[in-house]
Amino acid sequence: MTASKPSSRSFQPVSAFDSPRYAGAATFMRLPLLGLDASDIDAVDIGIVGVPWDGGTTNRPGTRHGPRQLRDLSTMLRPIHPATGMNPYTICNVADLGDSPVNPADVMDALTRITGFYAGLKARGITPLSAGGDHLMSYPILKALAADGPVGMIHFDAHTDLFDDYFGGFKYTHGTPFRRAIEEGYLDPKRVVQIGIRGTMYDGSDVAWGLEQGVRIIRIEEFEERGVDDVMAEARAIVGDLPTYVTFDIDSLDPSVAPGTGTPEVGGFSTREAQRMVRKLAGLNLIGADLVEVSPPFDPAGGTAWVGISMMFELLCVLAASPATRKSA
């Protein structure tokens, strides 16, 4: 294992032994909050970023409020992974980098702003872990991270997000991000795996198009029949050791455990299954990850955000172990 970037600053979370979890300003995982102009920004290995935006939502809005609630609930997390014993903060320098700039009044301008922000992270060698926000936000992130060539993706979701357009030609919604990313050369479709797809359908054109491009679509029924180990072994084989992005839509989980989302679908993953799947990503060449579609207005008590931030911690741990994240001092 190589060392993280050198820094004289402590990037450790505030301990609940030193300050109660409910005290102080909320930051992701109680980590230091840094701006991109901070003197030690280049020491950051993994930057946790909020994308408070739901301009791509076509039905129930509210995910623009997700990052704030996720930050608040993240104060409950302790630093050591219960199954692996990993402390990601001793492996990498991790910081809360605030929120990406967005524009709630203009979709295309928001996409440009988000792309520019993540291009800045890429230029600094910072691996992003992002909190959304609706799923369209993954498109500008991929546009920035895959500027040098297409990457693979492991995608946990109830929906393919491979539709062509909505409302007579509108190309950029939370139902279209990965079709755009494939068409524009940011994703290699033959290295894209979608796991958990389910729910009633419009016409199946999204699935048909994805299969034509070579996307591996694993519906929930196949997942249920084969189980976590077999499915994730296939996913790992498909993406191989080349650069890979991970995107986790909270609606991949069953709405009994994650009701606070815009497009819930019954029959989803349990939290235990989701944890096991993300842990199976360890060792892959991961260039970033996101957790999207947490909508606090549909779960004000924060149960969905607690599930979401717990999955973000799982993602943080596999990012910390990725060869793409660890850098020589």
**CA–CA separation, 47 vs 325, rounded Å?**
11
Give Cβ neighbours of residue 276 (< 8 Å, ≥ 6 apart): 228, 232
CB neighbours (10 Å) of residue 201? 12
Is 96 annotated in a binding site? The answer is no
**CA–CA separation, 326 vs 295, rounded Å?**
32
Whether residue 138 contacts residue 292, with contact meaning beta carbons closer than 8 Å, is answered with yes
Is 18 annotated in a binding site? The answer is no
Amino acid 126 reads: I
Element (H, E) at 48: strand 46-51
Whether residue 279 contacts residue 84, with contact meaning beta carbons closer than 8 Å, is answered with yes
Is 37 annotated in a binding site? The answer is no
**CA–CA separation, 262 vs 259, rounded Å?**
9
Is 251 annotated in a binding site? The answer is yes
**Annotated binding site: which residue ranges?**
135, 157, 159, 161, 249, 251
**Annotated binding site for Mn(2+): which residue ranges?**
135, 157, 159, 161, 249, 251
